[in-house]
Amino acid sequence: MAKIIDGKKISSEIREEVRETIEKQGLSVTLAVILVGDDPASRVYVGNKKKACEYCGIRSLTFELKADTTEQSLLELIRRLNEDSSVNGILVQLPLPPQIHTESVIEAIDPKKDVDGFSRASVGALSIGAKGFVSCTPAGVIQLLKRSGIEMEGKECVIIGRSNIVGKPMAMLMLRENATVTVAHSRTKELKSVCKRADILIVAVGKPRMVNHEYVKEGAVVIDVGIHRLDPSENNGKTLCGDVDFEDVESHASFITPVPGGVGPMTIAMLMKNVLESAMEGGNAL
């Protein structure tokens, strides 16, 4: 039976470290969060980020803009926050309404305050091994592995998914840890046999419970980035599942992350860490 990697515990350790550093050093740290429109899921995510800030002693400024806000006025707000030296991090909650060009908004954020790590400057810095903010979810996966004592150097790592916010930065981070990295995607042939090569299998495919034991080498480490809502009445009371069929894979893996309680809680913890890093030295989350 696999050991369960406890993302809830590890994420609270990280939040606690951030809280202690801010308290001990008497730092004044501020995160600006911008929410455009009233998407209920986005509102929940913003609420959770505010709560985490409160816990860590980070001041959070929330800007709630109407759904019909123009791109111009959003860019103007970002420009003001870029210039405000009391603001250490700027986060624009995605997705944005259709009249706003997401890339222009991300690019408008000063890279020194890009705590989500989505801008070209941050992604480019990661690719060449320079300082910069790293996208929170893949950075969280690295922390889960490190803090569970899992060696990455020299290991075969297969990542399913090549999105800009998970798969690609994940590949760069695993390279930085000296793993041998394969990135699989929807055009990959013989996906099961590619995945069976992995000592560490990271799944960010966005398909509920797609990965079963046929994808997993005996004794592999399995990290499930996926999150999907379930109808509890049809799923024995369960409200969430991942991209991995946990029950089927558990007996084949050496370590596995559950959903919920695996990668999910790490994302906000790493955001807190990025905001602190920004306040301390202009950014490098790892």
- List the catalytic residues: 49, 93, 116
> For residue 186, which phi and psi values (nearest 5 degrees)?
-65, -20
Q: Which residues pair with 90 in a beta bridge?
A: 32
Q: What whole-number distance in Å separates Cα of residue 23 and Cα of residue 20?
A: 5
Asked if 191 interacts with ligand NDP (CB under 6 A), we say yes
Site size with ligand NDP, rule: CB under 6 A:
25
| Nearest to ligand NDP of 161, 283 (CB atom) | 161
Q: Write out the two tokens for 34.
A: 């911008």
| Nearest to ligand NDP of 132, 138 (CB atom) | 138
Sequence-distant (6+) residues with CB within 8 A of 175 are 181
Q: What whole-number distance in Å separates Cα of residue 174 and Cα of residue 156?
A: 10
| Nearest to ligand NDP of 152, 263 (CB atom) | 263
From residue 51 to residue 70, the character string flagging contacts with ligand NDP as x (rule: CB under 6 A) and all else as - is: --------------------
Residues 111 to 150: which contact ligand NDP by CB under 6 A?
A: 137
Which one of residues 10, 78, 174, 205 is an interface residue with ligand NDP (CB under 6 A)?
A: 205
If we measure between CA atoms, which residue out of 220, 223, 180 comes closest to residue 199? 220
Which one of residues 33, 34, 181, 184 is an interface residue with ligand NDP (CB under 6 A)?
A: 184
If we measure between CA atoms, which residue out of 107, 163, 100 comes closest to residue 137? 163
Asked if 187 interacts with ligand NDP (CB under 6 A), we say yes
Which ranges of 129-257 would DSSP assign to H, the alpha helix? 136-147, 167-176, 191-196, 246-249
Asked if 188 interacts with ligand NDP (CB under 6 A), we say yes
Residue 115 CB, nearest approach to ligand NDP (Å) = 15
Which one of residues 134, 179, 263, 275 is an interface residue with ligand NDP (CB under 6 A)?
A: 263
Residue 76 CB, nearest approach to ligand NDP (Å) = 29
Residue 163, helix vs strand vs coil: coil
If we measure between CA atoms, which residue out of 93, 33, 91, 84 comes closest to residue 61? 33
Residue 255 CB, nearest approach to ligand NDP (Å) = 17
Which residues of the shown chain bind ligand NDP in the complex (CB under 6 A)?
A: 137, 160-163, 165-167, 184-188, 191, 204-207, 225-227, 243, 263-264, 267
